[in-house]
Amino acid sequence: MNGAARVSGGARHRPPRADLIAAAAAVGLFAVAAVAGGVLYLTGRPVHASAAPLFAQWLPHVGPGTPLAVLLAVLVWWRGPALAARLPWRPLLALSYAAAVAWTLSLALVDGWQRGVAGRLTTEFEYLHEVPGVTDIPAMLAGFTGRILDQQPDSWTTHVSGHPPGALLVFVLLDRAGLGGGGWAGMLCVLAAGLVAVAVPHTVRLLGTDEAARAVVPFVVLFPGAVWWGVSADGLFAGVTATGVALVAHGAVRGRAVGAVAGGTLLALGCYLSYGLVLMAPIALVVVVLAGWRWRTVGGVLLGAVPVVVAFTAAGFWWPTGYHLVIERYYQGVASDRAYGYWVWANLALVTVAAGPVAAVIVRRAVPAARQAVAWHLSGLRWSDLRPSGLRRPDPRLSGLRRSSGVDPAGWLLVLAATAVILAADLSGYSKAEVERIWLPFTVWLMAGAALIPPADRRGWLAVQAAVALTVNHLLLTGW
């Protein structure tokens, strides 16, 4: 009897010890960060996060979204992998999107409609607080940098000052379209965040295999980071940039210039939504390389990106100036009191919650897969040959690579690119705390390597992912 039969027959199955150790180490790091945060608070050196390392308040509660969230978690755990394996691709992506939106909204509704959705973006620190004061969009863009620094009468609110003007502009335009208020703004973030459940698996399929992409779907649906992107503008940011990456992949693989141009436009727009999203560049670069480097693709991306840069610059916003002023504003606030020595490793502990313990398992498996692929590359196999559609004829070395690594390179390359981006953001010191929210556009790409997990283990890890999200959402009141 083979392994699959044993599992389906009800026999107990335990994931490999190395995977359990990786997940336990990630959870242990979070526990150490929590204990250390408490100790530092008691000794008079607070880390300035109420439920350290999480930026949240301890508040056990249930809400109207609780039954739906639990039901969705059980349904995706029970039927998700099977449906992902057999449904036609386009209906599967539609179902993935709908399920991701429902999961995010149900988690938000655990806090109730007003506290969980409609009121999230209306506080004095948020974007909608500034929307009524924007009566002249060109004047807002031209004078944006002059209001970034704190301690002046007309300083922007915390979140508006901490981002380029694109983020505020989105909510101003939404208001001008007659969809004003926190409810519409919150739903925009939820609906945009759901796009990652389409973009990430579709990118993996374009660059790798159908099987690998299907393995990703349940993990992006039950992504624990949904706790934070429902509702925050970072959900909007994640959806925009993930869609941009997927469009670049589509343009590169299918030879459609419009895809590369549209992808370049969205990725450039992302840089005007959040300064940190320039770090999406390594992930986009991996896409271009895996698709088989073509200057036509690069040119298409630039053709889409340049008009965005030109438009904001012509309107009076110079991105480098805004970036340097934001750094100054950052240290005018609580960041100056948050110890780098604590947050440089506590930030990584937060990835355990935002991306779930399975992220540690995926990264652990991605490293040896990469090492094996490099060995094959040194033997003469080209990177473009590693993608199935890049092969003009069967290569026995490719099948050997897939047998030894367990997955095509699209998964582990995207995972390692996302890991490198997270480490770069962490070491920069410009994100001390709150990265469970800020890094969502990066952490979701760790799920691109879900196919690295053996099929027999996937439902177990899905249960862990759902449990993390439900536990956090019901024990804590998250905020930003």
At 397 the pLDDT is 44
Question: Could you report the per-residue pLDDT of 106-124, keeping only the tens digit for each?
Answer: 999 999 999 999 999 999 9
At 395 the pLDDT is 41
Confidence of residue 379 (pLDDT cuts 50, 70, 90): low
**Mean pLDDT, rounded, of the chain:** 91
Closest to 408 (Cα-Cα) out of 449, 368, 359, 443: 449
Q: Where are the beta strands (DSSP E) in 129-241?
A: none
Confidence of residue 10 (pLDDT cuts 50, 70, 90): very low
Confidence of residue 374 (pLDDT cuts 50, 70, 90): confident
Where is 431: in which H helix or E strand? none
| Residue range 269-289: mean pLDDT, rounded | 97
pTM for the full predicted model: 0.92
Question: Could you report the per-residue pLDDT of 161-217, keeping only the tens digit for each?
Answer: 999 999 999 999 999 999 999 999 999 999 999 999 999 999 999 999 999 999 999
Provide the 3-class DSSP secondary structure of residue 51: strand
**The pair of three-digit structure tokens given for residue 75, joined into one six-digit string:** 């349904």
- In contact, 454 and 447? CB cutoff 8 Å: no
- Lowest-pLDDT choice from 343-352, 362-371, 455-464: 362-371
88: phi then psi, degrees, rounded to nearest 5: -55, 150
Residue 406 pLDDT exceeds 50 = no
**The pair of three-digit structure tokens given for residue 298, joined into one six-digit string:** 């690069």
- Does residue 122 or residue 373 have the better pLDDT? 122
**The pair of three-digit structure tokens given for residue 70, joined into one six-digit string:** 């639990």
- In contact, 356 and 33? CB cutoff 8 Å: no
Where is 56: in which H helix or E strand? strand 56-58
The whole-angstrom separation of Cα 240 and Cα 278 is 13
Residue 60 pLDDT exceeds 90 = yes
Residue 401 pLDDT exceeds 90 = no
At 323 the pLDDT is 97
| Residue range 212-226: mean pLDDT, rounded | 98
Residue 6 pLDDT exceeds 70 = no
Residue 264 pLDDT exceeds 70 = yes
The whole-angstrom separation of Cα 412 and Cα 410 is 6
Burial label, 446 (beta-carbon count in 10 A; 0-12, 13-18, 19+): buried
- In contact, 421 and 282? CB cutoff 8 Å: yes
Residue showing tokens 């920069």? 428
Confidence of residue 370 (pLDDT cuts 50, 70, 90): confident
Residue 263 pLDDT exceeds 50 = yes
At 360 the pLDDT is 98
At 382 the pLDDT is 55
Closest to 243 (Cα-Cα) out of 298, 200, 188: 200
Contacts of 343 (CB under 8 A, 6+ apart): 47, 53, 432, 433
Provide the 3-class DSSP secondary structure of residue 476: strand
Type of residue found at 29 = L
- In contact, 407 and 369? CB cutoff 8 Å: yes
Closest to 133 (Cα-Cα) out of 149, 144, 118, 117: 144
- Lowest-pLDDT choice from 139-148, 160-169, 178-187, 390-399: 390-399
Confidence of residue 13 (pLDDT cuts 50, 70, 90): confident
At 335 the pLDDT is 84
- Cα dihedral sign for 172, 174, 176, 182? negative
At 12 the pLDDT is 65
**The pair of three-digit structure tokens given for residue 375, joined into one six-digit string:** 């060995």
The neighbour count for residue 91, using CB atoms within 10 Å, is: 10
Question: Could you report the per-residue pLDDT of 291-328, keeping only the tens digit for each?
Answer: 988 899 999 999 999 999 999 999 999 999 999 999 99
Residue 389 pLDDT exceeds 80 = no
Question: Could you report the per-residue pLDDT of 427-475, keeping only the tens digit for each?
Answer: 999 889 999 999 999 999 999 999 999 999 999 999 999 999 999 999 9
Provide the 3-class DSSP secondary structure of residue 54: strand
105, 198, 328 from 291: Cα distances, Å:
35, 19, 40
The whole-angstrom separation of Cα 133 and Cα 149 is 18
